[in-house]
Chains A and B, each alone.
Chain A
Amino acid sequence: MPIQVLMPALSPTMEKGNLAKWLKKEGETIKSGDVIAEIETDKATMEVEATDEGTLGKILIPEGTADVAVNTPIAMILADGENAADLAKVPAPAAAPSPSVAEEVAESRSPVGEGKPMISAPHHPSAPASVSEPEPEVPAGTEFITQTIREALRDAMAEEMRRDPDVFVMGEEVAEYQGAYKVTQGLLQEFGARRVIDTPITEHGFAGVGVGAAMTGLKPIVEFMTFNFAMQAIDQIINSAAKTLYMSGGQMGCSIVFRGPNGAAARVAAQHSQDYSAWYSQIPGLKVVAPFSAADYKGLLKAAIRDPNPVIFLENEVLYGHTGEVPKLDDYVVPIGKARIVRKGKDVTIVSWSNGMTYSLKAADELAKEGIEAEVIDLRTLRPMDTETVVNSVKKTGRAVTVEEGWQQSGVGAEVAARIMENAFDYLDAPVARVSGKDVPMPYAANLEKLALPSVAEVVAAAKAVSYR
């Protein structure tokens, strides 16, 4: 049967075009790939190539015709042995299959409640960690050891490397130099150069190498000397690591940890003092962890290494030398996705994470002196975020303050405030207050740097303000 040539679309949005010119005449032989006509829209001119072979039997739309709808038959090609009489056999063209896009889009968006008030928590898919695993019990009588956060991180990596031969660590100065901040101290000596790998100063490249290795099932720990330098690598982190599981329909995962110090250190100025919490926590496909206590640094890094997904593990350089009590257990793993109430209180909820907890806990002490009992929550994980713990606390206190070193606009504090509003609006006695880094690049001068960061006084003031005191 003769083959119909249909008016093609130049782009997914094209609905009609002009048939500018026929380059073949009726009766001419056509080979697959021959240009047979030119069509044009207001944007472009394009050639129509034959995808079938035979003879141009009949031109249905003469050249010069304007506004020919896409998929209109424009010509007929006769196969070998057919002639003009066969042209009559062609049935009327069937409409091209067009998926019911509009309908499905509307349907699929409904879970997040577009255009209607959000009563329950927004749909945050596949955040299994926050519901399934309880806080590990530390059995009565467990011994604790006092460790720096630096040591807790090293122990976590060493334990996981002993446990799983697919775990390795790579980054700048992680091996011979023993870590730019000495976090990987001793790992080269124990595990050798095959598993503790010094990279060139090549963030974009080695992040990609790590992701590629992870796609085969290895479990890399990629250390960035600081997350400021990971901006060079953020394409591989987001486009390759975070999205591949989805884009492969669940076939190809990526178990990888990107870790290193994040946020402001001290006196290193704007390019070395940025907090990336909000950046990474926006990305579906990533988990984002930012602990504060030494025990959490250890237990959460172990969980991150075991997690089958890409995990961003945000450390804080200022905290590396801080000490804390770490349970002396063979396998202390803290589940990702669970916040912790660090200090109980009934008057106001303070929500923070990482070094923001330093200001928050000191502020709680100050507030207690004035008779305000603050409940201080350490989020620990920013994605998936433990909304439930925060909301339950706010239902009790009716007031909330968020504390972060990062910038306010589109920040994590803004997200926490939105979730409180969505889930506990009727319980709020005051608008949520945000304490954050100031909306400026980090200055170098000591006095200005101090002003740019949050302070205990600001947290105290915010807590009093929401308490109308």
Chain B
Amino acid sequence: MASSPKKAVAKDSGQEKGTGSPPAFTREQELKALRDMLLIRRFEEKAGQLYGMGAIGGFCHLYIGQEAVVVGMQMALKEGDQVITGYRDHGHMLACGMSANGVMAELTGRRGGYSKGKGGSMHMFSMEKHFYGGHGIVGAQVSLGTGLAFANRYRGNDNVSLAYFGDGAANQGQVYESFNMAELWKLPVVYVIENNRYAMGTAVSRASAQQDFSKRGASFNIPGKQVDGMDVRAVKAAADEAVAWCRAGNGPFILEMQTYRYRGHSMSDPAKYRTREEVEKVRHDSDPIEQVRNRLLAAKVSEDELKKIDAEVREIVNESADFAQKDPEPDPSELWTDIYRESASK
């Protein structure tokens, strides 16, 4: 593993080019980034394991490889800022501070899950953490996230919403309907396009006429930037810029995060559309967690300290897996609840 951060996966040919290394993190920031990314990685590995055991059913889309994106973005937010994403959402929830127990128990369909077991992997929410889902329809979260920004503007606060979507969703029509309204009404929304290079099994080059996603807002005059999404420092720096732009009332901003998912699209994806060598190369050259770990080691943080973080994270994840398997399934009466809210009396 190289000790200096490598340029990420894809070529850096955006509207605005980053030059050289992004601003350095403090030791505390590096340690926090490492811990948060490790938590997501270990959680997802465990989820994959539980899926293989049959404890998790249906669809299960793992975030392994993309951890730097949500962790870096989250570092730029303040209380009240909202987050919304698609169905590859476990990492976003953990980054928002939602509990590993609640997320894992939702994956296993138990009553202690964030949606009482009624939503599953793709549909979880937390009003407390301002996480608005978890959406299973590709691209729907882009209009919804624009609506979150609309609400901020309507209320006159200075909060910003982050609407995450992938390179696949970026080709949906409602994305551009939303871009148009967001710029027209100067809504404070950062569109974070997680370009992991494959929409399910279709490579970007086979699906997208314009492969530079930072330019996808150009005809609406929305500024955009390509970012090395494997380097958490680069993500944080871009997030700071985009969030500040939105908070100041300038309208939306697009960030294309160049990233990579190591696992298949979902658990039942045999991943025949790419070579094992390609995956190995990304893991070897630009793994987001190894980058931070190597920087910390170079800065004379001891192996022992890093092992302690790893152990702490593993304990959280193991406990969540334990909880998620012991927690009872929802009571059958839950079938009939939460369909309507009772009308408040006048």
Contact = CB atoms under 8 A, between A and B. Distances in A.
B133 A209 contact: no
Contacts of A10: 267-268, 270
A333 B116 CA distance: 35
Contact of A215 (B126, B148, B180): B148
Interface residues of B, number: 77
A96 B151 contact: no
A213 interface: yes
B85 interface: no
Given A51-B45, A205-B143, A205-B174, A213 B150 contact: yes
A248 B54 contact: no
A249 B118 contact: yes
A104 B332 contact: yes
A213 to B, nearest CB: 4
Nearest to A383: B340
B2 interface: no
Contacts of B264: 46
B126 A251 contact: yes
A307 B54 CA distance: 41
B340 A202 contact: no
A192 interface: no
B267 A98 contact: no
A115 interface: no
B340 A126 contact: yes
A236 interface: yes
Contact of B150 (A209, A244, A247, A252): A209
Given A35-B276, A51-B49, A247-B115, A209 B338 contact: no
Most chain A beta-carbon contacts within 10 A, residue among B48, B329, B337, B338:
B338
B337 A204 contact: no
Interface in A227-264: 235-236, 239-240, 244-253, 255
Most chain B beta-carbon contacts within 10 A, residue among A45, A247, A255:
A247
Interface string A214-230: 11111000000000000
A32 interface: yes
A298 to B, nearest CB: 16
Contact of A211 (B55, B144, B336, B338): B144
Contact of B143 (A8, A207, A214): A207
B221 interface: no
A213 B147 contact: yes
Contacts of B151: 212-213, 216-218
Interface string B318-331: 00000001000100
A107 interface: yes
A415 interface: no
A436 B125 CA distance: 43
Contact of B118 (A33, A47, A128, A247): A247
Interface string B172-211: 0110011011001000000000000000000000000000
Given A96-B54, A209-B178, A240-B135, 14 more contacts: A8-B51, A10-B270, A46-B268, A46-B270, A104-B332, A126-B339, A199-B181, A200-B177, A208-B142, A235-B137, A247-B123, A248-B125, A251-B115, A251-B125
Interface of A: 6-12, 32-33, 35, 44-47, 49, 51, 70-71, 96-99, 104, 107-108, 111, 123, 125-129, 132-133, 168, 194, 199-200, 202, 204-218, 235-236, 239-240, 244-253, 255, 284-285, 287, 306-309, 331, 333
18 contacts: A8-B51, A10-B267, A10-B270, A32-B45, A47-B271, A51-B49, A202-B180, A205-B178, A206-B143, A209-B181, A212-B132, A212-B151, A216-B151, A236-B140, A247-B125, A248-B119, A249-B113, A255-B341
**Top 7 A-B residue pairs of the complex, sorted by shortest distance between their CB atoms:** A212-B147, A208-B143, A205-B177, A8-B52, A249-B116, A212-B144, A249-B115
